[in-house]
Amino acid sequence: MVYVLRSGLAHITTFDGRLRIPYHVEPPYLRYLQDGWTFGAAELVQKRHRWYLHVSVSKTAPDPVGDFDAVIGIDQGMRFLITASCGNQVMFIRGGKVKQTRLRYVRLRASLQRKGTRSAKRRLKAIGRRESRFMADVNHQIAKAVIRFAQTQGQRPLIVLEDLTGSNLSVRFRLKDQYWRMSWSFRQLADFIRYKAEEAGIAVMLVDPAGTSETCPKCGHCEPANRSRKRHEFRCKRCGYRCNDDLAASRVIAQKGLECLRQSQSA
Ligand SMILES: [Zn+2]
């Protein structure tokens, strides 16, 4: 059992009784020791001869009701890692370079796995770490760009993201071997956007991704045939509305956010 106290001590139950061990908090995280944050579960982790304390913190966010002057829908995808839209303003962030780099890592890993020697295993680990650092760095940059985009859209913007927890992702990305790595980095990007938005005082709302990519942003008609993934095109079978498929999805996501706002206001 690990109990983390705000006083800077962690109480850890061991076979030799309870230990009281002081912990150090890096400056960017000091704010979690104050203003209304609650400590959740803690976990002691050993990594390369150092001990880390992973502590989850939570805070009840104010209800996202009220006077937003811009609602930004964010679609995450493979071709465009981000498609952000707010009315007629659109920002695409291409995934091509990232995809190439990741494929290089995939091939490298595969060849090392085939070798199976001890040094190959060591390299495999190092490569995994390098790949994680690369993806985290890319995700930080992208998240920053999303926040900048949101800030240019209004004084009080609302960012709407798809809720990618649980099984939602596997529905969207049937990638088999690459699935876990991809889903991990998709979620990381969504998390980074949320953290950075919170730091910038921007509200974030998560919406159900069901049907997002098949729904017409103009008339609301939902049908899988509306979307041609091959041509990257959205074309509504009912009203004929046409646009890039990721853009259509980001618009639908923004609308879902607006719909949630309306419901919470009328409730
Ligand atoms: Zn339509």
Contacts of the segment 197-201: beta carbons below 8 A, 24+ positions apart: 197/147, 197/150, 197/159, 200/147, 200/150, 200/151
pLDDT of amino acid 176: 42
pLDDT of amino acid 56: 84
Overall fold of domain 70-266: Nucleotidyltransferase; domain 5 (3.30.420)
The SS3 assignment for 175 reads coil
Contacts of 119 by beta carbon, 8 Å cutoff, 6+ apart: none
| Ligand 1 centre distance from Cα of residue 218 (Å) | 5
**Average pLDDT per run of 10 along the chain, which is 267 residues long?**
78 86 83 77 84 83 70 92 95 89 87 91 91 92 97 95 70 49 79 93 92 94 92 95 96 95 80
The SS3 assignment for 54 reads strand
3-state SS of 187-198? Answer: HHHHHHHHHHHH
| Ligand 1 centre distance from Cα of residue 153 (Å) | 26
Range(s) for CATH 3.30.420 in the chain?
70-266
| Ligand 1 centre distance from Cα of residue 21 (Å) | 61
| Ligand 1 centre distance from Cα of residue 216 (Å) | 5
| Ligand 1 centre distance from Cα of residue 236 (Å) | 5
The CA angle 103-105-110, to the nearest 5 degrees, is 95
| Ligand 1 centre distance from Cα of residue 154 (Å) | 28
| Ligand 1 centre distance from Cα of residue 160 (Å) | 21
pLDDT of amino acid 196: 95
* Strand 80-86 relative to strand 70-76, pairing: antiparallel
d(CA 68, CA 66): 6
